[in-house]
Chain A
Amino acid sequence: MNKLVVASCLAAVLALPGLAQAREVTLTTRLKDYSGNDAYLAIYLTDANGTYQQTLWVAGKKAKYYKHLPDWARGSRMAAAQYDGISGASVGSGETLTVSAELADSLIDAGYQIRIDSAVEDQRDVRADVVLPLTLQGAGQPASGSTYVQSLRYDL
């Protein structure tokens, strides 16, 4: 009970300044020309150790397949509250997904990373297909992915 109260207060404290000094980030994800059905993607924020912090976007409509996005599923517990209002359709081979997300200013240049987990039906489930440190300088600089993701870029 005590823990719950503390956690709620903590969340409120984190959220309030976040709302006060938030900015919109545009995330541009381009997929490779792979052979397979549309990909499910989870774009999320981790700390420098790769520990899950916050979901930025989930591409793919069927929650029952979310378990194929391994690290994100583990970190977010796939709780609907984590991706409510920030999910959409899966992304096809060679397509580009552009979405925007709200990020607190305090998260920039603070050692946080943007990661994408990806999965395609009957193929490999990929943890951290791409990892991109969240810095002011890194804005507009694309990073290459390993499996289905060709590149990820964020613009502040």
Chain B
Amino acid sequence: MLRSLHSIPGLIAALLVMLLAISGATLALNPALERLHTPQPAVAQVSVGQLAGRIAGHLSGIEQIRRTPSGSVIVYHSQDGQALASTVDPLTGAVLAPYSPSVFARWVKELHRSLFLDTTGHAVSALGALAMLLLACSGAVLLARRVGGWGNLLRPLRGSFSQRWHAELGRLTTLGLLLSALSGLYLSAGTFGLIADGSQAEPAVPTLLSVGPALPVASLPALQALDLNDLRELVYPSPGNPQDLYSLRTTAGEGYVDQASGALLSFQPYAGAHQAYELIYRLHTGEGLWWLGLLLGTCALGVPLMSVTGLWLWWRRRQGATPIHDNSTAANADCVILVGSENNSTWGFAHTLHQALVMAGIKVHSAPMNQLQSDYPKARHLLILTATHGDGDAPASATAFLARLGQNPPGPGLPFAVLGFGDRQFPRFCGFAEQVQNALAASGARPLLPLDCIHRQCAQEFQRWGQALGAALGLELDLQHHSQTPPSHDLELVESVAYGAQVQAPTRILRFKAPADGSGQGLPEFQAGDLVGILPPGTAQPRFYSLASSSADGVLEICVRKHPGGLCSGFLHDLQAGARIQGFIQPNPQFRPVQGSQPVILIGAGTGIGPLAGFIRGNRARQPMHLYWGGRHPASDFLYEPELKGYLADRRLTALHAAFSRVPARGYVQDRLLADALALRRLVEKGAQVLVCGSRDMAKGVIQALDEVLAPLNLSVLTLKAQGRYREDIY
């Protein structure tokens, strides 16, 4: 529902909103540009009378002086019967340039407020502002829900490129866009007379005028008393008409000035409604508030990007939600698959499962979780595949599931299995899958399998679950899931450094470059901490390795330990210099140090040092980095030893704490953390972020150790995770 509130106005109004935003951003430059070219007199530095007198020294036939909110002074005058306009220096009154309003700016302004369509266009523009308002509000609520509450709004964001950029731009620009949309709507309402814009009758023309010769303009007391910064407009009397008056408009009101006495007559201050309208007009246009104009203009520039990424996300959701081959009806199916998916990656796994079951001769019905039926007359199994949204919330296609389940539990006759998809980065990994499992169990249904969770769409874990499911169903189930892999690149091995053979941990640091003969496209773009997917020959399942370098280093570097019987690790260890492999990059932006001055605590064991060494190598800003690492023996598998010593020397690395498990004073990395508790607490108090890379067992041990370290601060790893300060890359 909420998502529709966001996507429907987005779809309908995307082009209009983009047009308004781009034209608005263009207009927003004007106040700043104007201000840049205009000397700004201080308050009480120049009076209107002084300036008018100075202008009279340079120009004749003056009819009107206008001061824009940005401080430009424009003089309309005539010379030899010719109507002229000039901008003048607000301090000296000297002519700066002939004044002619920019044709381009006028064109953009008309486009922005009425699309050249007059009244109809004004209404369309107003609808655009309304759409913007809806989009900003619903987007903010969606974002808050996605990150698990308003308090987490500033937390680092995760997701696909489009999702992240859409949300990131959204939270950067929402306040500005809200201000633009609301003020725009107010101005539109004024245009259509729906609210008072504060226009009021002109002050009455005074009838009793003093008799006498006209004073020079510089000697008129009313103008001498008026600071130039308060002037809007001064209209001169008709030449040669002693009955005529100066008309004066200031920031406070309007009135007349007697030519002979110089007295201010019939002055009428502006009403509150007028002042409010003026203020909102300036908030919208940035006139006289050049910095706000630039700020709002910058926010508006986010709109085209958000429109494009938003349309793309919508399209992807639609795409993925479509055809399932051989989908039986709910009434006929032997087996029902319900899918809870946020952006369709879970649907991909559901398709694989669906096809495998159909191949095994089973009639399968697949549907979104929100379409849970009260009755599946023929079904014998209910399989649920679901992602988790934000902090343990339901993903888009499962938001109504728990409520529907409460009304119509499937009963004991329908055994179920739940498979969760998620990312262990999140404190509530597969939290929604757990809720579904518990709710189904509580409804009296019998679990076919215990709850299982897949970390980051790992195809191998999915295959293992398939085997367990097959065993429970009494059939052979081989789930070969192939996510769409990005295009591969040719990589040529240039160096392979061996470590650890003596301590039964054969490990190599492998360095690849784009093929030297120039046949390939060069190295792809990547950062340390991203993953490279490598397909060992004769297999279809890529293996992923954390990258220890970034493309800026000119080399693609990974650190690989050979596992007994490991297909891919064995293949990589046997590669000779000059050999070529195929690889593709899978970005892993959540596992990266956030740049800044806060310290970074890097923790790893074994080959987990790879991306950590990459972060240190890229630390040109000399952000304080503290490395805790565990190996087996300093003489054999001290990975990156020479490099790390160099980094210590040039201060890219602040401190190195290595632990070795096969030396007399044996210890693990957890022991080093405990021993260094005081220093670690100090770093965390300074806002340190923690990046952990290594095996799952090590990661568990590190969490235990750090919880112990942090306890005196009333902090835990869970809290750090919730703050986005604790990131893991675990295998």
Pick the residue among B106, B201, B244 that contacts A78 (CB under 8 A): B201
Q: Which residue of A has the minimal Cβ distance to B200? A: A64
CB distance from A33 to the nearest CB of B (A): 13
CB distance from B87 to the nearest CB of A (A): 13
B183-227, CB < 8 A from A: 197, 199, 201-202, 204-205
Are B101 and A146 in contact, CB atoms less than 8 angstroms apart? no
List B contacts of A37 (CB < 8 A): 106, 110
Closest 10 A-B residue pairs measured CB to CB? A64-B199, A124-B76, A147-B83, A122-B101, A35-B103, A67-B202, A146-B83, A74-B205, A70-B235, A124-B85
B394-415, CB < 8 A from A: none
Q: How far is the CA of A57 from the CA of B522 in the complex (A)?
A: 74
Q: Taking beta carbons and an 8 Å cutoff, which residues of A are in contact with B?
A: 35-37, 50, 63-64, 67, 70-71, 73-74, 77-78, 122-127, 146-147
Q: Which residue of A has the minimal Cβ distance to B84? A: A124
Pick the residue among A35, A50, A73, A146 that contacts B100 (CB under 8 A): A35
Interface size class of B (residues with CB under 8 A): 20 to 34
Q: Contacts A70-B247, A124-B76, A127-B238 given; indicate if A78 touches B101 (C-beta within 8 A).
A: no
Pick the residue among A36, A73, A147 that contacts B106 (CB under 8 A): A36
CB distance from B566 to the nearest CB of A (A): 74
Q: Which residue of A has the minimal Cβ distance to B119? A: A61
Q: How far is the CA of A78 from the CA of B204 in the complex (A)?
A: 10
Q: Taking beta carbons and an 8 Å cutoff, which residues of B are in contact with A?
A: 63-64, 76, 78, 81, 83, 85, 100-101, 103, 106, 110, 197, 199, 201-202, 204-205, 235, 238, 241, 244, 247
Q: Contacts A36-B101, A64-B197 given; indicate if A146 touches B81 (C-beta within 8 A).
A: yes
List B contacts of A35 (CB < 8 A): 100-101, 103, 106
Are B197 and A50 in contact, CB atoms less than 8 angstroms apart? no
Are A126 and B202 in contact, CB atoms less than 8 angstroms apart? no
CB distance from A86 to the nearest CB of B (A): 20
What would 21 A/B residue contacts be, using CB atoms closer than 8 Å?
A35-B100, A35-B101, A37-B106, A37-B110, A50-B238, A63-B199, A64-B197, A70-B235, A71-B238, A74-B205, A77-B204, A78-B201, A78-B202, A122-B101, A122-B106, A124-B63, A124-B64, A124-B76, A124-B83, A125-B235, A147-B83
Q: Which residue of A has the minimal Cβ distance to B76? A: A124
Are A73 and B85 in contact, CB atoms less than 8 angstroms apart? no
Q: How far is the CA of A63 from the CA of B205 in the complex (A)?
A: 18
Are B241 and A50 in contact, CB atoms less than 8 angstroms apart? yes
- Residue among A71, A123, A127 having the largest count of chain B Cβ atoms under 10 Å: A123
Apart from the given pairs A64-B199, A125-B64, 10 other A-B contacts in the complex at a CB distance below 8 Å: A35-B103, A36-B101, A37-B106, A70-B247, A71-B238, A77-B204, A123-B85, A123-B101, A127-B63, A146-B81
CB distance from A9 to the nearest CB of B (A): 22
Q: Which residue of B has the minimal Cβ distance to A147? A: B83
Q: How far is the CA of A124 from the CA of B199 in the complex (A)?
A: 20
Q: How far is the CA of A71 from the CA of B202 in the complex (A)?
A: 13
Q: Which residue of A has the minimal Cβ distance to B241? A: A50
List A contacts of B101 (CB < 8 A): 35-36, 122-123
CB distance from B329 to the nearest CB of A (A): 62
